[in-house]
Amino acid sequence: MTKPLSLIRNRYLLILDLPLLGLAAIASFYLRLDGDGMQQHFQIMGVYALSAMILKLPIFYAFGLYRRFWRYAGVKDLLSIAFATLSGTALVTLWVYSVASLIFGFQAIPRSIPIIDWMLSMMFIGGMRLSIKVMARERIPWVDWNGKSHLNAKTDQEQRVLVMGAGDAGALMVREMQENPGLCKTPVGLLDDNESKKGLMIHGIPVRGTREDIPALVKNMQVDQVLIAMPTASGQAIRGVVEICRQVGVEFKTIPGIYELIDGSVSITQAREVGLEDLLRRAPVTIDKPGSLDYLNDNVVLVTGAGGSIGSELCRQIASCHPEKLLLLGHGENSIYHIQRELVEAYPALDVISFIADIRDRERLDVLFARYQPQVVFHAAAHKHVPLMEQNVAEAVANNVTGTHTLLQTSVAHDVSKFVLISTDKAVNPVNVMGCTKRLAELCVQDAAKRTGLSYAAVRFGNVLGSRGSVVPLFQAQIAEGGPVTVTHPEMERYFMTIPEAVQLVLQAGAMGKGKEIFVLDMGKQVRIAELARELIRLSGLKIGDDIEIEYTGIRPGEKLSEELFGEHENPHPTEHEKILVAQGNNQWSSQELSDHLEELRELVSAGSPSSIQHKLQEIIPTYRF
């Protein structure tokens, strides 16, 4: 039966180690002694060299030096060589000074010889193994142990890659391409906007300049692809590189941004087409995840709306914080099934339990809470489609207001210690039913915190890129159909952030909540929807006017040109986190008054009169305009 290739290679390593160990032993005598001294020590030198060859090999085997794939050797493997050679030299020295000296009757050898022998052994044994790693990584033509020649011939599929970004991520990309020939990618250079890095070598590949050098390098070095390895760069920086690549006509890809790399790891397999979220990416914010998110560790956490865009990302990031159990609650069975399956595969040790339920069903919630006793609740379930909720006023109130109030009552009754509501910027001076219901949901959360003293809070932010209800999927579908891309108004603008970034800040805000807060995420500057459409068209390789048109259709019911993050009576206050603020001074109702309003609202919802419901909403939320 044929041995695996790695074992055949290690057998040859064992055979090569024998003469190298003998050579190291003999060389240590010649380096330590002069000609006259050597004549007196020929016998002991022979015994020492033979002992080194016999006694060190079992030590090497015990340290696993013959069970390693040296092509992927790292620091730990080099330390193993150092300790193995040290232990082997110590054993040989002990043998020679004790038993061998009595048997052969020779005098003790100089004490420096074992030290020289150890250093030479480490150099010979380590150097041979390191050469294997270098030959594999650099793809130097060599003959494998099975006799087959491996030549560094460029295949038709192989791509010459220029890596933009000479930081940690860029270095990892270069190393992975070098160590995995199956990727068919050859790094030919790195680029970095920090000009002081020019001329430096990273894993043997030079930093050849800045982004301005891309056109010349693509032409002179026959570059097939530019890989943008800048996970912490801003959207402006990414846009600059993309624009240069477009002008040159070279293929470009990127690795995910820092907010998408939840565990901090990055791999060449994550490289993807540049998306809108990359072009709008903001500079990253340091989040003290190990310390600030301890409230999730070893606790039972419930996420409502767990199958939605925000809810599913909450589940992913919470799962990485090692909760005791993660409870997924949602109304759509397919979306809950998909996120449950994803979590079970990614975190096999985590207890993930799914429930198909309505947050308005108090009896069902009581059974769930009594059985699993969640300590932390993230409430992401809501109807969010603005024009659709204008046509379904009663359902919007029943789900977003009554459902939230029912969930809060259940949470209080079952001693949930922390509750976080996912709110929206549309709750500020609302002009639509959806925004008004979310503002009322905020008031319900504040009231529950005021009555109980528990850490119940809301987190308010704007649109997120990639959600199922956002405008981006609509634009992408229109582009795929050949257009036109429809925009409601040329001046319409919205706040945008990526889903991973929003969720990380939500979890951070949840850690800071003491009770009654409405946290507001710093969304940066608003982005014009028309500009989003233009960027998506350009990313698709099309030209506006020539290949596809943009049409303006007019503002729909419930929409306004710009959103706001703070109401007219709200005062923004900073928190310990630079990207999270608190809106204060915005709750004018007592608990009894709010309870009476909610009861009357329930009766109006049951009656089903949209106009009556909206007038009641305006009475509760005076800033609501419809």
SS3 612: helix
Classified as helix, coil or strand, 254 is strand
Buried b (16+ CB within 10 A) or exposed e, 461-492: bbbbbebeebbbeebbebbeeebebbbbbeeb
Cis status, amide bond into 387, omega within 30 of 0: no
Q: Which of 56, 289, 426, 579 is catalytic?
A: 426
Q: Nearest CA to 447 among 594, 570, 569?
A: 594
* 176 close to 267: Cβ distance less than 8 angstroms: yes
Could you tell me which residues come within 8 angstroms of residue 131 by beta carbon, excluding any fewer than 6 positions away? none
CA distance 225 to 245: 9
Instruction: Say how many C-beta atoms besides its own lie within 10 A of residue 157's C-beta.
Output: 8
Handedness of CA 445, 450, 454, 459 (dihedral sign): positive
| Cα–Cα distance for residue pair 317/319, rounded to 1 Å | 5
> Using DSSP, how many helices (H) and how many strands (E) does the chain show?
23, 23
For the four alpha carbons of 370, 373, 377 and 380, in that order, the dihedral sign comes to negative
How deeply is 107 buried, as exposed, middle or buried, from its count of CB atoms within 10 A (0-12, 13-18, 19+)? exposed
Sequence-separated (6 or more) residues with CB below 8 Å from residue 194: 166
User: Based on the number of CB atoms within 10 Å of its own CB, is 274 exposed (0-12), middle (13-18) or buried (19 or more)?
Assistant: middle
**Is-catalytic flag, 426?**
yes
Only one residue has tokens 């004549």, namely 39
- How many CB atoms neighbour CB 167 within 10 A? 17
Catalytic residues: 426
